[in-house]
Amino acid sequence: MILTVTLNTALDLTYRVPALTPHASHRVTHVLERPGGKGVNVARVLGALGHDTVVTGFAGGPNGAVLRNLLARCPVRDALVPISGNTRRTLAVVDDATGDTTQLNEPGPTVTPQEWAAFVARYNDLLPAADAVALCGSLPPGIHVGAYAELIRTARGAGVPVLLDTSGEPLRRGIAARPDIVKPNADELAQLTGAREPERAARDARRRGAHAVVASLGPAGLLAVTATGLWQATPPATVSGNPTGAGDSAVAGLLSALVDQLPWPDRLSRAVALSTATVLSPVAGEFERARYEQLLPEVAVQAQSPAA
What does the pLDDT look like over 61-99, one tens digit per residue?
999 999 999 999 999 999 999 999 999 999 989 888 887
pLDDT value of position 70: 96
**Comparison of pLDDT for 153 and 242, the residue scoring more:** 153
Q: How far is CA 93 from CA 19, 26, 64, 129, 274, in A?
A: 10, 11, 21, 39, 23
pLDDT at 40 over 90: yes
| CA 303 – CA 230 distance, rounded (Å) | 6
Using pLDDT thresholds of 50, 70 and 90, give the confidence band for residue 279.
confident
The upper half-sphere exposure of residue 149, i.e. CA atoms within 13 Å in the direction of its Cβ, equals 16
In this prediction, residue 201 carries a pLDDT of 94
Whether the CB-CB separation of 132 and 255 falls below 8 Å is answered with: yes
Catalytic residues: 248
Verdict on whether the full-model pTM lies above 0.95: no
- Note whether 16 and 30 are within 8 A (CB): yes
Neighbours of 302 (CB within 10 A): 11
Q: How far apart are CA 182 and CA 168, in angstroms?
A: 13
